[in-house]
Structure 1
Amino acid sequence: MNAVIIAVLVMLILSLMRVQVVLALAIGAFTGGIVGGLGVNETLTVFTEGLGNNATIALSYALLGAFALGLSKTGLPEVLVSGALKVTQKQGDTRKQALSKALLLFIIVTISIFSQNLIPIHIAFIPILIPPLLLIFNELRMDRRALASSITFGLTAPYILLPVGFGLIFHQIIQEEMEKSGLAVEMAMIPKAMSLPVIGMVIGLLIALFVSYRKPRTYENKDIASESEDIAVEFSKRSLTFAVIAIIATVVVQILTESMIMGALTGIILLFFAGSFSIRESDVIFTDGMKMMAFIGFVMITAAGFAEVMRKTGDIEKLVESASAVFAGNQVLAALVMLLVGLLVTMGIGSSFATIPIIATIFVPFAQELGFSPLAIVALVGTAGALGDAGSPASDSTLGPTAGLNADGQHNHIWDTCVPTFLHYNIPLVLFGWIAAIIF
């Protein structure tokens, strides 16, 4: 049996059984490597070599965590929370609470969307914004699965549709890889091809918010454990001003250098020289901040090792080829199978950006042979690549929301983030991507 299928299934089953995601990825990688004929020693070597592929991303997230905690010492999060409390302070007012929930969800979705396109900082906003708001979410009895669905939608749908920020990178990858595979397409075609799949995601978001997770859910009001709790937070107009300046500088530097590491370091240095924390406090802030985002870093590093083992087996190409050959001549079934293969590959790798080069090589010539139009092929490749990003235990689009919502230990990564986002986004993506491939 195909090593990729075995590895992904092992990883997903272990994750659903609440086995720690890093361990599940490692076991899945070794299982796939052995099934793929690499042997124990070669699998270990390839897995170890692959670990470094995401080391830069892991360090970026660790520094962003330190910046987020340093920012909390300026008092800016407290000001944001106080403002939100003014909206929710009347108890027993059902209409007011409903409006407050809607407003908070709208703000979170909007900020998440901006983080991909308008101000491309990706998940850096989550540790700054979400943990201070957990108390308000608890008072409103908001189901955190709805919040996870909102954040993940904002982290994925915009880059799939809009050629701005991270979306421009995603669209360029699609265009370049399709051209390498023998089909030149214009950038303007990609948003048109991806419009139907994103409409499916919008429908999934509405179902999550107004059907699946609309009922109240009770959480305990817990303090967010940290060694820095004994450091008093004293803020003033000056500290708040420097907090805003640090955020703007972080964003600008990240955009100019295309490095989250440089952006986070810039923000930390500005906060330090602004007097937001002292040298004595800096060690605690750095340590606790990195701890906050360490989970994401370890998962991303392990996922890189997993992906490298899958590539080395050669079974990704075999999976695509065999699936394509089974339904040769039947556009309807072939389109569905290609999308499902994309889902399987991305669920294992955890990155839609990394999936496109893998599947475009096989999908483009096969789809051309079956007579799909260029627009339909773009829809197939783009949707197949995006599938799994929302829902994969190894994706930063699910790891980010969990890092924020689980700051008090009451939000499970698999059952409260991955499963809800998989059901509400991957299923609509398959359905609407399938329709797009057929009608375009």
Structure 2
Amino acid sequence: MNAVIIAVLTMLVLSLFRTHVVIALLIGALVGGLSGGLSLDATINAFNAGIGGGASVALSYALLGGFAVAIAQSGLPHLLANKAITVIGQDPTPARVNKIKTLLLIIILAVAISSQNLIPIHIAFIPLLIPPLLLAMSKLKLDRRLIACVLTFGLVTPYMLLPVGFGGIFLNEILLKHIGQGGLDTTGISVIQAMSIPAAGMLCGLLIAVFISYRGKRRYDQSKIKAVENSVDDFNFKSIVVALVAIGVAFVTQLVTNSMIMGAMLGFILFTVTGVIRWKESDGVLTDGMKMMATIGFIMIAASGFAEVLKETGDIAALVTSSVDVIGQNKPIAAFLMLLVGLLITMGIGSSFSTIPIIAAIYVPLAIQLGFSPLAIVALVGTAAALGDAGSPASDSTLGPTSGLNVDGQHNHIWDTVVPTFLHYNLPLLAFGWFAAVTL
């Protein structure tokens, strides 16, 4: 069996049995490397060579964690949370509660979507916004699996469809670029038109999660929430203003330098210089933030090593080529198999952005040979890459939601984020992506 399939399945099965994702990635990498013909030393060397690729992202998230704790201590995120709790208490009728639930979901969805284009900070907003809202969510009896689905939709769908912010990078600088390098003239191709059907699959999954799967009530232990997220009643005007300015500074710095590290660092320094965070307390605040985001950092580092082992085996190309061998001239089967392979690769690597260069070089010439239209090829390659981003244990699109929803230990990464997002997004995306490939 192909080493990529063995490695990804090993990692997924271990994760489903509640093995920590880092350990699952390590074991999956070892199994994949050895089954792919690498020696133990070569597997370990490849893993060690790959982990450096995740170091920058890990450091970014660590500093963002410290910045998030500083903003939380300013009281800014609690303004929204306290307002929601106050409104619930004033009129806890079912109709009122439903209205507040709807408004809260809309706000979270809007912020998540904006984090990909309007304010391109990706998952950095989650540890700022979500933890202070957990108590309000608990009082509303909102299922956190629903919040995870809402967040993941907002993190993934915009870059799939809108060529702005992260979407501009994914669609123009990566997708169209590599499709062009594969031999297809992309002049005049509308990526929005090509990706609109797959994006509709994501919307379908979101609606199922909201109105069917997680519409019921779910109770959480509020004492555990209060132990880590105490409500702030006395808001300091100076702290609120500094927090707003710090967010603005971090945002502008990130845009100018293209570095989350620099943005988070300058934002945190502003808190200490203005005295909102005392200098003698700054070390503890930064350490607390790093602890909060440490899991994401280590998983991203391990995922980079895992991906490098898979590349070193050479079985990624072999997997794609072997799927080509069974296709023949059957376009529907070709589309399905190419999407399925993309799902497997992205589930293992954890990044749709990194999947396109791997698959485009082989998929594009094959799709041209089979007679797929240019729009269909864009939809096929784009969907094949995006498949697995939602639902991968190592993707920041699932790690981000878990980092905010599990601060009190009541939200499991695999069963409460990964499995729900996999079912609600990958399955519809597979169906809608296939439909787009055979009809466009």
Question: Is TM > 0.5 for Structure 1 vs Structure 2?
Answer: yes
Q: Distance in 2 between matches of 1:259 and 1:233?
A: 34
Which residue identity does 1:134 align to in structure 2?
A: L
Q: Which residue of 2 aligns with 1:198?
A: 199
The aligned residue for residue 110 of structure 1 is 110
| 1:276-425 alignment runs, 5 A limit | 276-425=276-425
Is residue 263 of structure 2 the alignment partner of residue 263 of structure 1?
A: yes
2:98 alignment counterpart: 98
* Conservation of the 8 A alpha-carbon contact between 1:74 and 1:234: no
Residue 81 of structure 2 is matched in structure 1 by 81
Question: In the aligned structure 2, how far is the partner of 1:437 from the partner of 1:158?
Answer: 20
Is the CA contact (8 Å cut-off) linking 2:189 and 2:374 kept in structure 1?
no
Cα deviation 1:292-332 (Å, max 9, x = unaligned): 00000000000000000000101000000111220120001
The Cα offsets for residues 189-214 of structure 1, whole Å up to 9 and x where unpaired, read as 21111000001110100000110000
Give, in angstroms, the shift of residue 184 of structure 1.
2.5
Q: Which residue of 2 aligns with 1:236?
A: 236
Relative to structure 1, the CA distance from residue 117 to residue 95 in structure 2 (aligned partners, 3 Å threshold; closer, same or farther) is same
Q: Which residue does the alignment assign to 1:218?
A: 219
Corresponding residue of 1:63: 63
Q: Distance in 1 between matches of 2:274 and 2:69?
A: 15
**d(CA) in 2 for partners of 1:53, 1:412:** 27
Q: Are 1:148 and 1:417, in contact at CA under 8 Å, matched by a contact in 2?
A: yes
| Paired amino acid for 1:102 | T
Mapped partners of 1:237, 1:166: distance in 2: 34
Distance 1:99 1:79 in 2: 19
What does residue 127 of structure 1 align with?
Answer: 127
Residue 30 (structure 2) aligns with: 30
Q: Is the 8 A contact 2:184 2:364 kept in 1?
A: yes
1:87-140, CA deviations, whole angstroms, 9 ceiling, x for partnerless residues? Answer: 322354001111111111111000000000110000010000000110011001
TM-score, reference length from structure 1: 0.97
CA 1:360–1:129 in structure 2 vs 1: closer, same or farther (change >3 Å)?
same
Per-residue CA deviation, residues 390-429 of structure 1 (Å, 9 max, x unaligned), is: 0000000000000000010000000000000000000111
Q: Give CA-to-partner distance per residue, 1:262-312, whole Å, 9 cap, x none.
A: 110111011111211111111110110000000000000000000000001
User: Residues 131-173 of structure 1, C-alpha deviation per residue, up to 9 Å, x if partnerless?
Assistant: 0110011001000000000000000000000000000000120
Q: How far, CA to CA, are the matches of 1:324 and 1:152 in structure 2?
A: 31
Alpha-carbon distance in 2 for matches of 1:89, 1:350: 42
Q: Post-superposition shift, 1:234?
A: 6.3
Q: Letter of the aligned partner of 1:278 in structure 2?
A: R
- Matched with 1:175 is 176
Q: CA deviation at 1:256?
A: 1.0
1:292·1:403 contact (CA, 8 Å) conserved in 2? yes
| Of 250-259 and 387-396, the range deviating more from structure 2 | 250-259
CA change 1:29–1:285 in 2 (3 A) is: same
Structure 1 Cα separation of the partners of residues 355 and 165 of structure 2:
19
What is the DSSP-based 3-state SS (H/G/I as helix, E as strand, rest coil) of the residue aligned with 1:125?
helix
Q: Secondary structure at the match of 1:364?
A: helix
Q: Is the 8 A contact 1:175 1:186 kept in 2?
A: no
Relative to structure 1, the CA distance from residue 289 to residue 225 in structure 2 (aligned partners, 3 Å threshold; closer, same or farther) is: farther
Q: Secondary structure at the match of 2:90?
A: coil
- The structure-2 alpha-carbon separation of the partners of 1:31 and 1:224, relative to structure 1 and needing over 3 Å to count, comes to farther
User: Is the Cα contact below 8 Å between 1:115 and 1:125 reproduced in 2?
Assistant: yes
Note if contact 2:135-2:225 (Cα within 8 Å) is conserved in structure 1. Answer: no
In structure 1, what is the Cα distance between the partners aligned to 2:255 and 2:370? Answer: 41
C-alpha contact (below 8 Å) 2:78/2:133 kept by paired residues: no
Name the SS of the counterpart of 1:407 in structure 2: coil
User: 2:6 is matched with which residue?
Assistant: 6
Question: Residues 28, 103 of structure 1: CA spacing in aligned structure 2 closer, same or farther, 3 A cutoff?
Answer: same
1:346 alignment partner, SS class? helix
Cα deviation, 1:43-91, whole Å, max 9, x if unaligned, reads: 0000011001010000000000000001112111222212222332235
- How far apart are the structure 2 equivalents of 1:163 and 1:224? 41
Q: Any stretches of 5+ residues in structure 2 without a counterpart?
A: none
Distance in 2 separating the partners of 1:219 and 1:73? 24
Is this contact kept in 1: 2:4–2:310, CA < 8 A? yes
Q: Deviations over 1:162-187 (max 9, x none)?
A: 00000000012001111111112147
| 8 A contact 1:8–1:344 mirrored in 2 | yes
Q: Partner letter of residue 140 of structure 1?
A: L
Change (3 A) 1:3 1:361: same
* Paired residues of 1:197 and 1:433 also in contact (CA < 8 A): yes
Number of residue equivalences: 438
1 CA distance for matches of 2:275 and 2:66? 16
- Once residues 142 and 239 of structure 1 are traced to their aligned partners in structure 2, the CA distance between those partners, rounded to angstroms, is 30
What is the alpha-carbon distance in structure 1 between the residues aligned to residue 41 and residue 158 of structure 2?
Answer: 42
Structure 1, residues 13-65: CA drift from partner, whole Å, max 9, x if none?
00000000000001000100000001101000000110010100000000000
- Specify the code of the residue in structure 2 equivalent to 1:410: Q
**How far has the Cα of 1:225 moved from its partner?**
5.5
* Matching residue of 2:152: 152
Seen in structure 2, the aligned counterparts of structure 1 residues 73 and 92 have a Cα distance that, compared at 3 Å, is: closer
Q: TM-score, normalised by structure 2?
A: 0.97
Letter in 2 for 1:385: A
Summarize the alignment of residues 33-44 of structure 1 with structure 2, pairs less than 5 Å apart. Answer: 33-44=33-44
Query: Contact 1:116 / 1:122 at 8 angstroms: preserved in 2?
Result: yes
| CA–CA distance in structure 2, aligned partners of residues 87 and 288 of structure 1 | 31
Q: Residue 162 of structure 1 aligns with which residue? A: 162
Choose 175-184 or 64-73, whichever is displaced more.
175-184
* SS in structure 2 at match of 1:100: helix
Q: What amino acid sits opposite 1:185 in the alignment? A: T
Hey, what's the Cα distance between the residues in 1 that align with 2:381 and 2:258? 26
Q: 1:148 to 1:39 in 2, by over 3 A?
A: same
